[in-house]
Structure 1
Amino acid sequence: MKFKFHHMNLCTDNLPRLTKFYSQLFSLGAITDEEHTVISRDRADRAYTGAVDFLTDGDIEFHWAERDLDTGFKMNASVNPMGHGHFCFRTDDIKGFMKRCDEMGIRYSDYGCWAIPGWYQVFLQDPDGHVIEVHQPGIFNGL
């Protein structure tokens, strides 16, 4: 099972201000490929309907998102990734990762493919309460 740091997500009540700040200060560019722009369309049937700006420094992605304190409730999950933000590791074996968590007694929330089509997402908290996402791309028909 491989892991690679994929993105950092910050949630905000003022998306244009946050995006402008980071874009200008760190010269981050917008990500406009299909994988990222799909979340900006057809959001009405998803648990998270807030706007997201996807930026990059060329290597790491930054997802600036509108805060939604109710996402966890809507997903019937104990971990809410859209309250304060999270950071993310991408894996090639999400089922193996969940098994590892189970074996270690680490609780997680299995969100499945809920925000970005094809990204199977699991959220957990570290011992200090920071939210961590682990996802595997390319899963369109469930596990």
Structure 2
Amino acid sequence: MRSPGIHHVSINVHDTAEAVEFYTDVLGMTVRTDRPNFDFAGAWLDVGDHQVHLLELTVPDNVGQHFAIAVDDVDVAVAHARERGVQVGDPTPVGSGRQAFLQDPSGNTIELHQPGR
């Protein structure tokens, strides 16, 4: 498996509006309009060619704080990880793309992200 790069980094925030104001006004990021309709508040931001995802979760879970690696084919990436004994969730659609989650040996969550075409 070869990854073309980082797709996004997700961080947990207490207040989406306050966080958006900070990241746009202080750090110069811009708000994206293509965030899927999840069951929690948040915002997607652009920073250069990459994204920062702000997640307002009352109880962080396995879709909370993580980073996402862009992959050309999430099915191939999942098979590659499973062949090496890594437990990976099944790919699921998100927006126009697909994603799957796994954890590193220290328990850090990593998303395999296949952007939509």
Partner of 1:108: 88
| Identity rate, percent | 28
- Which residue identity does 2:63 align to in structure 1? P
Count of residue correspondences: 116
Partner of 2:55: 65
Shift of 1:57: 1.8
Structure in which a larger fraction of residues adopt strand: 2
Structure in which a larger fraction of residues adopt helix: 1
Are residues 1:133 and 2:115 paired? Answer: no
How far apart, in 2, do the equivalents of 1:120 and 1:132 lie?
A: 14
TM-score, structure 1 normalization: 0.70
- Which residue identity does 1:10 align to in structure 2? I
Map Cα deviations across residues 7-66 of structure 1 (whole Å, 9 max, x no partner). Answer: 01112231122222222221111123xxx14x1xxx4xxxx4112211112211111121
How far apart, in 1, do the equivalents of 2:17 and 2:27 lie?
A: 15
Where structure 1 has 5 or more consecutive residues not aligned to the other structure, the ranges are 73-79
How far apart, in 1, do the equivalents of 2:91 and 2:18 lie?
A: 29
Mapped contact 2:7–2:113 kept (Cα < 8 A): no
How far apart, in 2, do the equivalents of 1:111 and 1:19 lie?
A: 29
Partner of 2:102: 124
Where structure 2 has 5 or more consecutive residues not aligned to the other structure, the ranges are none
How far apart, in 1, do the equivalents of 2:59 and 2:80 lie?
A: 28
Structure 1 segments (4+ residues) deviating >3 Å: none
Q: In angstroms, what is the RMSD of aligned CA positions?
A: 2.1
